[in-house]
Structure formats: structure tokens, C-alpha cells
Structure 1
Amino acid sequence: MDRANILLVEDDKEIARIVRDYLVHQGYGVTWASTGQEGWEDFQKCCFDLALVDLMLPEMDGLTLCKNIRLSSEVPILMISARQEDEYIVKGLNIGADDYITKPFSLTELAARISSHLRRYHWHSAQHQVTQQLRFSSGLIIDVEKKAVYLDEEEIILTSKEFSLLILLARHPERAFTKQELYEHVWQQTDTEGNNTIQVHIKSLRTKLKENMRNPKYIKTLWGTGYRFVGEPLS
């Protein structure tokens, strides 16, 4: 098996150096980011097998980073923090983290947890290959690898942001997304009051998908909240 690549997001330089050097010595590839925003950008640029995310981070906090990673990938996420209160542990696990380790921790324990999660992740990945096409009963096909979308066998041309919105919604059917969540995940920026970017892009996306607003096949508006994907997948 090729060596696993780990994303380490930690703003404490001394802790980051110690953890990085230890994991490299254990045979892992390690990319270190010192802010949540930097970690999110690194995650989108490279392929990682596991993420180690500190809870308290500048620019983008660890909980938000964890949520963004989980919406994009099934890689194991281990949160690390000095906070030991149950509410923080529960929040981290509820938004998609797989494990939580509190500071100070032993490097051998950290390595054991990483190894355990990687074994399960690689086994699961081998058993359940991620499909490269999402197909729906209404004639919609999303080709993930080619980044192409077809409706009734005719390709429809989407902008990169429209495609990112559609694939995010379609991969998480029936999940309610707020406009803020969609904006921060796709645009990688903090949403500001009065920003109507999401509404404009959703309207354009619906037009291209030939949506009937009164009886939507794909994107349902949750008034006062955001949007939800309601397309019926083909088994």
C-alpha cells in the first residue's frame, strides 16, 4: 500500500512540528496548514487519506473546516484540542469527525488511532467504490469525473460554481443547506449580510435544469432557510 497522506491543521507551531516530524518518521506524508482557511485550500488541492484538525483555528474554525471536509469527502477526521468539555466533543462528532483526542496526548496513542482509522477507511473504500455518475429518474445524470451534466441525454453547460452547487446538493439528498453554508463551502468565503449570490446561481441552475418551480424535481426551496435536493436517484 502506498504511504498515506495526512493533512495536519494546527496553529501552534511547536505542536505542529512535533506531530509532523513524528508522523513523517512513521512513514506518512504530512501537509501542515496553520489556519483553517489554509487547511481547506490544501484539502481541495491534494488527495488526503486522513485529516487532523485542531478545534481552535484562525480564519476558519475547526468545526467549520471539519464540516466542509465531510461534505466533500469520507476521509477520516480526527479533531485535536485542549477543550475537554462534552459539548465540544459532541459538536465535533455530530458534524462529521470520526474521533476526538484532547491535548496533551501521547504520540504513540495518536499514531495508533490514525492507523486504526486508516485501516477501516481503506477497507471501506475497497468495498464501496465511490460512483463516478449520479443518475436520477427524471433523466438527470451528473458525471463526477468528467464534471459534465446531462438532462434527457443532452449535455447542459454549467459554470464551475453551478456545478459545485449541484454536486454538493446532489451528494447529500434531503439534507437542508442554508444559503450561508452553500456560499461558504463553494465560494470559500464568509457570507455577508445581503449577499444574494446563492439565489442568483440557484435561479440560473434551475433554468438550465428546466425546473417547474411549483413542482421541483431537483432543488426545493426551504423558505427562510435555504435549499434541499429532492431528485429521485436510480438504484
Structure 2
Amino acid sequence: MKERETDQAKLLLVEDDRDIARVVCDHLRKEGYGVAWASTGREGWEDFKLAEYDLVLVDLMLPEIDGYSLCRSIRMVSDVPLLILSARAEEESKIRGLELGADDYVTKPFSLEELSARIASHLRRYRRYRHEQSGLEPIRYAHGLSIDFNRRSVSLSGEQVQLTPKEWEVLQLMAKHPFEIFAKRNLYEQLWQQTDEPGNHTVTVHIQALRTKLRDSTRQPRFIQTVWGEGYRFIGEPL
């Protein structure tokens, strides 16, 4: 028998309206999905980091962290399908959501059958994509650096580089967006999910640790470059 899209698929719903969340969760669970529910943007981000999901549904008007910010945070670290569920039907909201990396925009009120059809369609595409990506080799860069994004491992001149979880998150984020400048404040708020404060040197310390482990020079960087007055960027040259 052909595997259904619902089989073993785990979904995350981030919705602050309890009535809508209950209806959607009940419907999707009857369809055979595993569904986790978060009622705030911050709770949704924490849940996303703690488990692996096949698809995420996000309301825009969320407390603590709004839906736009949550979509941006998820998309920076994952290719998981993102569906926005929103009562905001204006074109500007749709364009902004899609530009932040959402794969679909469903306007409330919506048909549960239509929602199921869209979810199934995105899951089919995502499973094909993951199958293609699973065979990718580690990316090798000039000067001996190799990054295996699937296995979350880094080596330098053939030797394994031991990174802390946060060091890996910083390197992964920057390496997946090469030559994009990340301000210290943006890196901190993206990866630590807390508001940056004056005098906070957390990002600086992690960048210094990465440079030490990658034997990278501040004056003649090969991998992480400081853009003075703006932030940092990954400049590794793929072979």
C-alpha cells in the first residue's frame, strides 16, 4: 500500500486562539497526524527547537513573538514547510509572510478539508526534498575546512573540530547564508531568543571561540570576517 502523507508526520501548530487551535488539532489528529500546539510565539520557538517537525502552521498575531518573527527564526535554521494561518487577508501581509520564507498563506476562516489538502501537498514536496538532501556530501572549503550539515560535524585539515551546541548554531547559520552580514544583535536575538542589551558580549565570545577552533585570523580571515560597524559574515570559499 502506498504510504499516506499523514503517516508518522509531526506538525506544530502555533495559534493563540484556543477555540481555533482545538478545532484544527482535533481535525488533524483524526487525519492521522501527530500535532503539538503552542499558544505563543516564544513557546512555539522553544517547541520547535526541542523536537523535529515535518511542517509548522503559524498564526501571525501571536503574543511574545509575532508570527512574522517566528517564521523568520524558523526559516533561518530549517527548510521545514511553513504555513501561515491568518485573518489578515490584505496583500501586503501575504507578501511579507512569503518573503520571510513561508511556503503558503491560508486566510481565516478556512475549510479544514482545504487545509488538509495543502498540508498533504507540502509534505509530499518536503519528503522528496529531504530524500534528495540526505545524499549530499559535506561541503569542503579552501584551507581545509569541511562542514557536514546533515551530521552537524566540522573538521579542519582532516581533524574533527569539537564545537559546543551554540558554536555550531552560530557557524551553521552563517555558513548557510555565506557573505550575508549578521549584526551581533541579530545573531543574539535569533539564536538565544532574548533581547540584546548594551554590554552583552555573548556573541563576541562565541565568535572568538569559533575563530580559535578554526585557527582563523582576525586580520586575515579565511572563514569568519568582521565587517566593522556592521557585524560578521562567513567567507569560506567552497571547493
TM-score, with structure 1 as normaliser: 0.91
Give the AA of the match of 2:58: V
The question of whether the paired residues in 2 share the 8 Å contact of 1:179 and 1:227 is answered with yes
Match of residue 161 from structure 2: 156
Correspondence 1:1-235 to 2 at 5 A: 1=3, 2-129=7-134, 131=136, 133-144=138-149, 147-234=152-239
Alignment length, in residue pairs? Answer: 234
**Alpha-carbon displacement from aligned partner over 1:178-202 (angstroms, at most 9, x marks no partner):** 2222112222222223322112221
Q: 1:191 to 1:51 in 2, by over 3 A?
A: same
Q: 1:130 to 1:225 in 2, by over 3 A?
A: farther
The question of whether the paired residues in 2 share the 8 Å contact of 1:80 and 1:100 is answered with yes
CA–CA distance in structure 2, aligned partners of residues 151 and 72 of structure 1: 23
The question of whether the paired residues in 1 share the 8 Å contact of 2:13 and 2:37 is answered with yes
Shift of 1:147: 4.1
Q: 1:184 to 1:217 in 2, by over 3 A?
A: same
In structure 2, runs of 5+ residues without a counterpart are none
Q: The residue matched to 1:138 in structure 2 has which SS?
A: helix
CA–CA distance in structure 2, aligned partners of residues 223 and 64 of structure 1: 26
More divergent stretch after superposition (49-58 vs 104-113) = 104-113
Give the AA of the match of 1:180: R
CA–CA distance in structure 1, aligned partners of residues 127 and 99 of structure 2: 22
More divergent stretch after superposition (91-100 vs 125-134) = 125-134
More divergent stretch after superposition (144-153 vs 183-192) = 144-153
Q: The residue matched to 2:139 in structure 1 has which SS?
A: strand
Give the AA of the match of 1:78: L
Q: The residue matched to 2:232 in structure 1 has which SS?
A: strand
TM-score, with structure 2 as normaliser: 0.90
Q: The residue matched to 1:174 in structure 2 has which SS?
A: coil
CA–CA distance in structure 2, aligned partners of residues 132 and 190 of structure 1: 36
Q: 1:130 to 1:88 in 2, by over 3 A?
A: farther
Give the AA of the match of 1:178: A
Shift of 1:222: 2.4
Shift of 1:54: 0.6
